[in-house]
Amino acid sequence: MTKPWLFLPPLWAHALSPLALRILHHITPPQNISWHALKWKNLFFPNPLGISGGIDKNAINVLDWQHLGAGFIEVGTVTPKPQPPNPGPILLRDTQHMALWNRMGFPSKGLFFVKKKLQRIKPQLKIPLFINIGKNRTTPIEEAHQDYHLCIKELHALADAFVINISSPNTPGLRTLFHPDRLPNFLNSICHTQPSSSFLLKLSPDLSQKELLTTLEIAVEAKIDGFIFSNTTLSRPLEGLPQEGGLSGKPLAPLSKQQLLWAKTFLKSFPEKLIISSGGILSAEDIQERLSMGAHLLQVYTALVFHGPFFFRKVSQVFSQPLKKGEINAH
């Protein structure tokens, strides 16, 4: 199948995608896709495949993704104040290796823009909505908790869960919040901001096994409700990419899967915790593998770039039939 968007410069394709999704919404029938349905707390997921944070940063296409068959949606990252992307190059696409590089740095129209958008469309939303929140670039790391508190206070009535994003490599100093001297107080303050809300922690794939397990212990103690494995990586298995910025897609898969294995072993004692796998999920075969490894839900980003917005439909067609090993293909 021809994928014309891949012939556009990546930033052009990125900028045009919201309009393209709205058009698709109006010219295609709704995809009411149900397979491997899941209930968690009071939320029902018709299928386990959702969109990652970073795709719909400002909640512009929420209903469009629902129309196209997503099982749940994560919007954001949302910051308290509007802020532009980082200066300089911010997005590169490596088609040969099915990879994306970005150093966007939480570009956001701000929480009040997102709040207004979600208030308007929330009554029409039938699938769970996660809101990914972060700090503004100019907020000192010592005051980061204030940015997260403000987002939670303003958006809690609209969020089925908050994704606490302290793992982006594109906001200077952000990952220092994972330090064991900082993380307990930070997470405890977050979870006490709105005790009735659910909170998910998005992990960095660059944590060692020891660092990951320490982080999970602290998070469980703080009553975090679930985890996303994982954000983009600073590692560079591919040559020719800038050293700054995060890498996603196929090269991220080994790190994401390794984290999932480490985490699943630890979280066996906490079956109520939601486990979401993200990173390098590009086919139905990848989906089946992550589910078999213990993930409850899955998120895609790069797959939508390379396979297009009908990826949800293609996957559902695959999973609607009994499959033997080697027969899965959602390209």
Let me know if 168 is a catalytic residue: yes
Return d(Cα 72, Cα 55) in angstroms, integer: 13
Return d(Cα 144, Cα 175) in angstroms, integer: 11
Short-list 298, 236, 246, 287, CA closest to 72: 298
Token representation of residue 189: 């303050």
Return d(Cα 104, Cα 91) in angstroms, integer: 7
The values of phi and psi at residue 9, to 5°, are -55, 145
Short-list 309, 287, 328, CA closest to 67: 309
Which of these is catalytic: 17, 108, 167, 168?
Answer: 168
The CA-atom distances, in angstroms, between 272 and each of 40, 128, 226 are 8, 17, 8
Beta bridge partners of 133: 78, 164
Return d(Cα 217, Cα 211) in angstroms, integer: 10
Catalytic sites, residue numbers: 168
